Amino acid sequence: MTDREPVLDFSTDWDHTDPQWVNDPYPIWDDLRERCPVAHTDRYGGGWFPTTHDDVSRIANDTEHFTSHQVVVTKNKFPPGAPPAPMGGAPPITSDPPFHAMARRLLLPAFAPGPVNALEPQIRALCQKHLDGLRGRAEIDAGHEYAQYIPPGVIAQMLGFPPEDEDQFRDFVHVVLDLIDLEPEVRGPLFDPINTYFTEQIEDHLKSPRDDLTTYLLNVEVNGQKLAPEHVRGSMVLILVAGIDTTWSAIGSSIWHLATHREDLERLVREPELMPVAVEEFLRFYAPVTMARLVKEDYEFQGCPMKKDDWVLLGFPAANRDPQAFAKADEFIIDREVNRHAAFGLGIHRCVGSNLARLELRVAIEEFIKRYPRFELDPSKDVTWAPGQVRGPRALPLRVTF
Amino acid sequence: MKVSIDAEICQGQGRCFSIAPTIFSFDDLGNGVVIGDGTLTKQNLDSARLAQSNCPEHAIFIEEE
């Protein structure tokens, strides 16, 4: 992280990498929702942060005034050589209509409930394998030693990448999603190893095609044409990056919650059939992901004079805590029945991997509490939280009882 | 009473077929679909309503007679 000016007022100078926001953003968002409710910043070249469910939903559904061309807020709004709109660098998340629908349709079947649910036994075995590795220890780091291992294994297999490359994937994610306030000339070269890795994987799959998403993207035809190479590569990068620390963060936050709320842990251990409902509340209360848009042309929204190319950071996690949208929004209610949360986004960019993320989250928690019916934070060590647009614990030191 | 999903609004959030799997299913893209013609009985009306109240996109409609 670079040195930055501390934020004094988030309503006029918000920064999602500020330590106060990183450690506990919820009081900040509640305050902004009450008095703004759309916050502004001059940082990152200028941007807005809506905090109500209604505003977040309206912007997410408004592809006329807002573009998805860049979805991660950085100081490098238009990196040289980046694929232009309407495709963007990582289709379909960076794409706008009408291109978006085609790019998304190509990915949806692989992430539909049928193929995804078939992965359950394998995900369960992966969770058990990592828990077996911790056997006998009373102190563990549930972030670095458990949560972070679950999603990469699954996504590597779907893309047909060697599972032993997992550590590299986490480095890639760190560059793309965490190191966001670096100056462009420092950040740019960090992408070189990522590009090299994908080039190698593409060449390998061209030489020896197999039954995986990489081969599928290389061969699929739309209107008799194969996809442009930058489309194939962009979708691969998206699947890898978006499929890893998002779900890892959700798993980590859920374990953090159970470590700090014994009554909820005891209830889940006692009533495992509650899991599907509990998973939705974990997703609402600890939604890990915020996504950005850019303003297409000068546009006034809720009295805010948005300028062309301003960032808009869509606070889906803030929307999930809006008392106008949820009863007792600031309370975690493990058996909440009505839960129209926006953890996977709203509108045409709904997370393509949501079925997989839910499955991984449910199975990872089920296996964890089966192994450890009691656990709590280790008071001698610190929990650390990821900065930026994907929030979740990284170090999660626990004392466990088995 | 009948339930329907507006395919233009549905984004495949996947809540309906998890909450009420006897009323809703999904297509090859993972979008929600109504099983059969969507006729509801007194017995399954509540679960259709619960699915409706959990749809993030407000894509489920119940026509009550």
Mean pLDDT, residues A326-340 taken together? 98
Eight-state DSSP code of residue A50: E
Eight-state DSSP code of residue A231: H
Nearest to A340 among B18, B29, B56 (CB): B56
Q: Is the pLDDT of residue A85 over 90?
A: no
Q: Is the pLDDT of residue A299 over 80?
A: yes
Percent of chain A having pLDDT more than 90? 85
Nearest to B30 among A113, A280, A337 (CB): A113
* Cβ contacts of B57 on chain A, cutoff 8 Å: 346-347, 350
Half-sphere exposure of A111 (CA within 13 A, CB side): 24
Find, among A240, A245, A282, A246, the residue nearest to A369 by Cα: A282
Judged by CB atoms closer than 8 Å, whether chains meet at B56 and A111 is answered as no
Nearest to A348 among B11, B27, B28 (CB): B11
Q: Is the pLDDT of residue A130 over 70?
A: yes
Q: Which tokens is A271 given?
A: 């009533």
B-contacting residues in A 86-145 (Cβ below 8 Å): 105, 108-109, 111-114
* Cβ contacts of B15 on chain A, cutoff 8 Å: 280
Q: Is the pLDDT of residue A223 over 60?
A: yes
Does A2 reside within a domain?
no
Residue A382 or A181, more confident: A382
**Sign of torsion, CA A93 A97 A103 A105?**
positive
List the single range of A7-21, A71-85, A356-370, A379-393 with lowest mean pLDDT: A71-85
Mean pLDDT, residues A72-92 taken together? 86
| A300 exposure class (CB count in 10 Å sphere: 0-12, 13-18, 19+) | exposed
* Cβ contacts of A102 on chain B, cutoff 8 Å: none
Whole-number Å distance between alpha carbons of A16 and A14: 7
Does A3 reside within a domain?
no
DSSP string over A235-301 = HHHHHHHHTTHHHHHHHHHHHHHHHH-HHHHHHHHH-GGGHHHHHHHHHHHT--B-EEEEESS-EEE
User: pLDDT tens across A110-125, in order?
Assistant: 999 999 999 999 999 9
Residue A272 or A2, more confident: A272
Nearest to A112 among B15, B26, B54 (CB): B26
Beta strand A66-67 with A299-301 is unpaired
Find, among A344, A335, A400, the residue nearest to A373 by Cα: A400
Nearest to A340 among B11, B17, B54 (CB): B54
- pLDDT category of residue A183 using cuts at 50, 70 and 90: confident
* Model pTM score: 0.96
Judged by CB atoms closer than 8 Å, whether chains meet at A338 and B14 is answered as no
Q: Are A236 and A376 in contact (CB under 8 A)?
A: no
- pLDDT category of residue A186 using cuts at 50, 70 and 90: confident
Which chain A residue is nearest to residue B30, measuring alpha carbons? A112
Which chain A residue is nearest to residue B31, measuring alpha carbons? A112
Judged by CB atoms closer than 8 Å, whether chains meet at B11 and A346 is answered as yes
Q: Is the bond preceding residue A37 a cis peptide, omega within 30 degrees?
A: yes
Count structural domains, chain A: 1
B-contacting residues in A 312-371 (Cβ below 8 Å): 337-342, 344, 346-348, 350, 354-355, 358
Does A152 reside within a domain?
yes
Judged by CB atoms closer than 8 Å, whether chains meet at A346 and B30 is answered as no
- The per-residue pLDDT of chain A, averaged, comes to 94
Eight-state DSSP code of residue A176: I
Domain B2-63 grouped into CATH 3.30.70.20: yes
Does A1 reside within a domain?
no
| A118 exposure class (CB count in 10 Å sphere: 0-12, 13-18, 19+) | exposed
How high is the pLDDT of residue A357? 98
How high is the pLDDT of residue A79? 76
- The per-residue pLDDT of chain B, averaged, comes to 96
Q: Which tokens is A191 given?
A: 């992408």
How high is the pLDDT of residue A3? 60
Does A112 reside within a domain?
yes
CATH number of the domain that residue A262 is part of: 1.10.630.10
* Cβ contacts of A342 on chain B, cutoff 8 Å: 56
Eight-state DSSP code of residue A17: T
Q: Is the pLDDT of residue A48 over 50?
A: yes
Residue A141's domain spans which residues? Answer: 10-401
N- to C-terminal Cα distance for chain B? Answer: 6
User: pLDDT tens across B34-49, in order?
Assistant: 999 999 999 999 999 9
- pLDDT category of residue A1 using cuts at 50, 70 and 90: very low
Judged by CB atoms closer than 8 Å, whether chains meet at B14 and A113 is answered as yes
Beta strand A299-301 with B60-63 is unpaired
Mean pLDDT, residues A89-104 taken together? 96
Tell me the domain boundaries of chain B: 2-63
Beta strand A311-314 with A47-50 is parallel
Mean pLDDT, residues A377-394 taken together? 95
User: Per CB distance under 8 Å, which residues of B are interface residues toward A?
Assistant: 11-15, 17-18, 26-30, 50, 53-57
Does A176 reside within a domain?
yes
The Cα of B9 is separated from the nearest Cα of chain A by a number of Å equal to: 8
Judged by CB atoms closer than 8 Å, whether chains meet at A347 and B28 is answered as no
Residue with tokens 């192994």: A371
Q: Is the pLDDT of residue A57 over 60?
A: yes
Mean pLDDT, residues A173-184 taken together? 78
- pLDDT category of residue A337 using cuts at 50, 70 and 90: very high
Q: Are A389 and A290 in contact (CB under 8 A)?
A: yes
Q: Is the pLDDT of residue A263 over 50?
A: yes
Q: Is the pLDDT of residue A4 over 50?
A: yes
Judged by CB atoms closer than 8 Å, whether chains meet at B56 and A354 is answered as no
ipTM of the prediction:
0.97
Whole-number Å distance between alpha carbons of A77 and A96: 17
Find, among A25, A10, A16, A18, the residue nearest to A319 by Cα: A25
How high is the pLDDT of residue A190? 83
